[in-house]
Structure 1
């Protein structure tokens, strides 16, 4: 591999901060990548700061750990064996075509990822709908912030993770951070909270664990997992009871307050204390801290969102902001901390089961007509909405579900809820093709594996958690034997063309700049309008905030200051009421499990588990539990514990700490095998967002006899 002359400005391949960095030649790099990371202090989001994952990101570029040749499973041995690209592409096209011919278009599914660039996400959605003709497409971003997205749409008429730049955080008066451990999930962003406190602002953290982030808080609220909705309703009750509502804002800029107020008043403080375990005095203190300054924000993350009532939970926090006039004003508002690197852009341009590019609804005739015209097809040929992510995975190999699957940039064997069941469904397929940079646990099950380029080997855009569209620049020549996802889709389109030589592949250009220009035309006039953005402008301006409908439009760093994106311009209160998690503790499963991340690993760990430095920092899974619980069950620090739910069993060493509730255990979800946390998690779905309930399920915990 080689770098272009000098260093190349680009962005980290991991979380949705999309931290700026530079890549430079390093022939003696110990990790074998041939490059090194250089800080980029001029980029405004991270201002040079990088976490360990960002600093070590080049390690996965090394030929030592990544795929460099296609693989095909042979009938003779049942093993994956090296193949040529022509053989592999022919096998994928034959497998998809055979199933589609025998069982219909919806017998072929597509599953994407929140790490794909905007160009690849756009092309994948287009490929599913006009080449395969299938409605069965969704992506792992459904597991990220779909509940917040649904709540945004209901309340504001538009979904963008943060409706303001991160730079606004230190200048507000109070931040309530719900279910986020920024110190471990987005370490460079922690400085914004530090600066908030240095400026005299206050920080409230809501988390059942006393995390490194919670230790920075002025007030830490530790509710039982699954009770964030009751907590938000209790705070709103106190806001009303103490006369802290902003009646002028409510009257001028919202609708639906009377019903929402009545719903909140049914959640009196003593009831909320019983449900959540948070004492009433701490509820009152949270209201005082939030309502006293002129401005304040609520930020949510996976904690309240990954629940079977996640949409209503986020909606309750939005209601708190609206009732206090903390939305649609400078330095105030509700925002969601998107997790995956392109979790925002990945859902805007067609990977989701119900959406078309530009965040258009697949059921909207006008949207279908617009996108079909850009694609040069008849709108009537576009399939309707399909299954959501877990429902798609759950249906694989069944009589009514997909029998073949094309998967790009995801590892559901580790990341999906009820993971053992999902693994079983993947094994049941007639045909599975996976395009990835490493041989993930999911790729290892495939009939064909296609080795594709990585972040530093290709140009493309991502959209970070602020709605800032960014450009990742190609800095390296990929190794021989590796192709881009765009090249894969182009080659498959040619092979699957119903008219041999008909030129279908021309609808799938391999130049990312050409794809992005088409994406801009397809998104024009839609909620997520990129029409005024091009690569040159992104480079000049350190990213452009959407919506940006024209080249002379300044972009939109701050949404909703004048009006909300609803038909009448008013935000909508949505009345909600607390309800229990889908699964509660009982005699057989007396504890609650919650899951999350650690600083040195990322998502399913498919890439970070291949980096020696990160593995030294976080070598494997663990079970975090309170000393009282440890004493009761006879757990010993570092000794193996079995965590058992109604769906499976996981084994990992005990980590005993008083930083967690005594009725709760915690496991990180980055590892496969016997320590796979998602063997335990509950696939109960939110009725609106179809988000699974990752964050709470009933379990029992018991020591494991060690051999010898």
Structure 2
């Protein structure tokens, strides 16, 4: 009897329970953790569990965002069919209706306003194939010069600084596996413990092995807590701090003379520059004690090996390029690059922040990290694309400058892919007003974001569980994201949507792909011989090897683990030291009687970028369901701000209302607000529109504000 019952229950369980697994990668940060989602069906209920998969970068680790990423994919607000706006409301449409409407509107704009009246705004969260295709779509499908992407607001300062200094920009010049063996580490403006949690074990292991860690940040964060020395800098003075560190290294004769002589240019100019200012001026500007500056400089210079990492705290400023170059000066004069356990890492923010900037979404770039103004580069890409070089547009403008062109009426139509510029751009109220002026606006997304609300057409995209393609992680390691889950409803992959639109616009012969791999194989040819050379990488190799570091110029090449071992990427094979000013060319706001406090911004662990996805995750939203302002208790008392009270924060651009949070980890002259909320809590409503003159990065990290009870 018992055996028959057991058999019955086993058979019954098989009838009501099934299990599916989906291999993929986390859609969020640049670590691009490999993962598997297990879907179990029990009676009528589905249960989901995410587990990490071993890989060269994260070795099976996941953070809370990765473990809960599927929640936004399955959310009821997901767009699953095309939407057209009629009488101010979105109504369901067929793909044919949506595509024909797009054809009519784009054709009219091009006839009335010219091809450059159409613009494309891309994303650093899409695959390499889609980033490549979007650049091609703008320049071949629309024949417009106006394309840029949200990565401009994230990585442009570090990318520009690395290109100017080294001649090439890859996220890390070495592999992450070298970090545990280095002797000294500088973490400049990076809160990796919250932004890239699965990278932390590398630094924790380095500390266990005796590495000395120096953190530079106006706040105390979970990252600064692992540091041996925290330089609690005044917001916006990073370039001056870099100069101070370099000055001490030179004056105390801690430089690597042989490296400077054989592998760099510009040292004498740099030496004269640092001799011309007083170290006490640096102390006054930065508010970092002299003993701390000296300790950091001497420790970094004297150790045999060392690594420098920068992120948004240093880069998202109107002199972000200069500040990064200032720290790279420090790296070069000590000879700590191109050898084991020494090098530079720009901690990429978005999931494909590295790859998305390599293959044509930036206003001035073509695939393979080629220049759109370089005639040989243009000729190579024109040949791959099968067009005349003369028909290839020239460079356009940066992401925020696109908004200015829209406001001026120079751009009257736009395609937006997987981005939310109303929340992510500076001077966000202006951006919203500008986008409302467009004659025609198409958004491609998973959800009706704050920006997509303004669109005339919304097209349903696929998620990380559904959209196969390659991503390039923080190391510069190209990985293949498997994605086998079917698209819900009528949603399509981003690359299919681009091809469909190109087809109705009469450019289908240039976009006749049948798979993501087809696109990648063309990308390989487009990148061949470029700085970011993927030509030796194939899907088969990525499946077998788990990821390959570019450049990889031929099929048998193993990939390049360490850059610049014998030469840099400039024509003379030398790195360029640079003279960096203590005061930026674009002056930053300084506290006044009307706006007496610095405001700086950043992230929290449970959310990502503008929060469109993570705010749809119940598990993540529960951890931080509203925005907040961190403020030092003494400052709070001076302004009669109670803990957990609603507070109005005002700048010359606008105001928001958030809840106060007392924190002794803050500088008394500074408040902090995270970036993940919209509407009345959108901190970017407060940020000014000044841009770094070199890379066009907005100054997110420094503005001045006043506070009062809401």
- In the alignment, the residues of structure 2 paired with residue 188 and residue 95 of structure 1 have an alpha-carbon distance, to the nearest angstrom, of 45
State the aligned residue count.
692
Counterpart of 2:578 in structure 1 is 574
The answer as to 2:396 corresponding to 1:386 is: yes
Matches within 5 A, 1:173-192: 173-192=183-202
Could you give the per-residue CA deviations for residues 400-431 of structure 1, whole angstroms, max 9, x where no partner exists?
Answer: x2100000010011111111110111111111
Counterpart of 1:500 in structure 2 is none
- In the alignment, the residues of structure 2 paired with residue 119 and residue 510 of structure 1 have an alpha-carbon distance, to the nearest angstrom, of 12
Could you give the per-residue CA deviations for residues 509-536 of structure 1, whole angstroms, max 9, x where no partner exists?
Answer: 1410000000000110111111000101
Q: 3-state DSSP class of the match of 1:27? A: strand
Matches within 5 A, 1:583-598: 583-598=589-604
**CA offset at residue 573 of structure 1?**
0.5
Counterpart of 2:77 in structure 1 is 65
- In the alignment, the residues of structure 2 paired with residue 451 and residue 685 of structure 1 have an alpha-carbon distance, to the nearest angstrom, of 33
Question: Which of 25, 28, 36 is residue 14 of structure 1 equivalent to?
Answer: 28
**CA offset at residue 204 of structure 1?**
0.6
Counterpart of 2:362 in structure 1 is 352
The answer as to 2:537 corresponding to 1:544 is: no
- In the alignment, the residues of structure 2 paired with residue 147 and residue 590 of structure 1 have an alpha-carbon distance, to the nearest angstrom, of 28
Q: 3-state DSSP class of the match of 1:23? A: strand
The answer as to 2:249 corresponding to 1:248 is: no
Question: Which of 49, 52, 57 is residue 36 of structure 1 equivalent to?
Answer: 49
Counterpart of 1:662 in structure 2 is 668
- In the alignment, the residues of structure 2 paired with residue 662 and residue 671 of structure 1 have an alpha-carbon distance, to the nearest angstrom, of 24
**CA offset at residue 333 of structure 1?**
1.4
- In the alignment, the residues of structure 1 paired with residue 514 and residue 355 of structure 2 have an alpha-carbon distance, to the nearest angstrom, of 19
Could you give the per-residue CA deviations for residues 28-70 of structure 1, whole angstroms, max 9, x where no partner exists?
Answer: 599x876431221x21211222111100011112151311111
- In the alignment, the residues of structure 1 paired with residue 231 and residue 385 of structure 2 have an alpha-carbon distance, to the nearest angstrom, of 50
- In the alignment, the residues of structure 2 paired with residue 141 and residue 424 of structure 1 have an alpha-carbon distance, to the nearest angstrom, of 22
Question: Which of 631, 637, 647 is residue 625 of structure 1 equivalent to?
Answer: 631
**CA offset at residue 576 of structure 1?**
1.0
Counterpart of 1:616 in structure 2 is 622
Matches within 5 A, 1:131-142: 131-142=141-152
**CA offset at residue 332 of structure 1?**
0.8
Counterpart of 1:634 in structure 2 is 640
Counterpart of 2:267 in structure 1 is 257
Q: 3-state DSSP class of the match of 2:272? A: helix
Counterpart of 2:95 in structure 1 is 85
Structure 1 418/200 Cα, relative in aligned 2: closer, same or farther at 3 Å? same
TM-score, structure 2 length as denominator? 0.95
The answer as to 2:690 corresponding to 1:677 is: no
The answer as to 2:132 corresponding to 1:118 is: no
Gaps in structure 2 of 5+ consecutive residues: 1-16
TM-score, structure 1 length as denominator? 0.96
**CA offset at residue 10 of structure 1?**
2.4
- In the alignment, the residues of structure 2 paired with residue 332 and residue 268 of structure 1 have an alpha-carbon distance, to the nearest angstrom, of 29
Matches within 5 A, 1:259-658: 259-399=269-409, 401-497=410-506, 504-580=508-584, 581-658=587-664
- Which aligned segments of 4 or more residues in structure 1 are displaced greater than 2 angstroms? 3-10, 23-30, 32-36, 264-269, 503-508
- In the alignment, the residues of structure 2 paired with residue 29 and residue 628 of structure 1 have an alpha-carbon distance, to the nearest angstrom, of 57
**CA offset at residue 482 of structure 1?**
0.7
8 Å contact kept, 1:33–1:59: no
Gaps in structure 1 of 5+ consecutive residues: 498-502
- In the alignment, the residues of structure 2 paired with residue 609 and residue 647 of structure 1 have an alpha-carbon distance, to the nearest angstrom, of 26
8 Å contact kept, 2:189–2:312: yes
RMSD: 1.6
8 Å contact kept, 1:349–1:359: yes
- In the alignment, the residues of structure 1 paired with residue 341 and residue 104 of structure 2 have an alpha-carbon distance, to the nearest angstrom, of 55
